[in-house]
A = this chain, B = another copy of it.
Amino acid sequence: MGLHEYRLETGREGFYAITGKISEAIAESGVLEGLCVIFSPHTTAGIAINENADPDVRYDLLLGLRNAFPEQPGFRHGEGNSTAHLRAGAVGGSQTVIVRDGKPLLGVWQDIYFCEFDGPRQRRFFVKVM
């Protein structure tokens, strides 16, 4: 029913391009015009769409997110990864893209990324096309 699951291994933190997998899932679904939802079932990793050209942008995104959501003396969560929960929430746990002519409708500078904030881990994400 147009549902795909993918797995990946992540490092400590990072943006991992997954646009190729999304294109593959859409092609396999046979849907030509519709919607595609990419969903992370994790609470310290999310899905983002951002620039694909200069890898320094991903470096700056990680730096800017750490700066916006730093460790707080008042944090209570014993696992010590609350900033990862905050950063995953800020980028969002899913993205929705439009499907046109059997492909994801993205801008020329856009790629879809799996965003790890609390690795290294075995992670997965789901792609639903309809």
Q: A residues engaging B (CB < 8 A)?
A: 1-3, 33-35, 37, 39-43, 48-51, 54, 56-57, 59-61, 63-65, 67-70, 72, 74-79, 82-83, 85-86, 88-98, 100, 105-110, 126, 128, 130
Contacts and interface: CB of A to CB of B under 8 A. Distances in A.
Given A35-B35, A64-B83, A128-B35, A110 B56 contact: no
A21 to B, nearest CB: 15
Which of A50, A51, A94 has the most chain B CB atoms inside 10 A of its CB?
A51
A41 B91 contact: no
Contacts of A82: 57, 60-61, 64
B85 A57 contact: yes
B98 A128 contact: yes
A34 B130 contact: yes
Contacts of A39: 96-98, 105
B33 A56 contact: no
B61 A89 contact: yes
A61 B41 contact: no
A40 B110 CA distance: 10
Nearest to A40: B107
Given A49-B93, A107-B43, A85 B69 contact: no
Closest 5 CB pairs of A and B: A41-B107, A60-B82, A1-B33, A56-B76, A64-B86
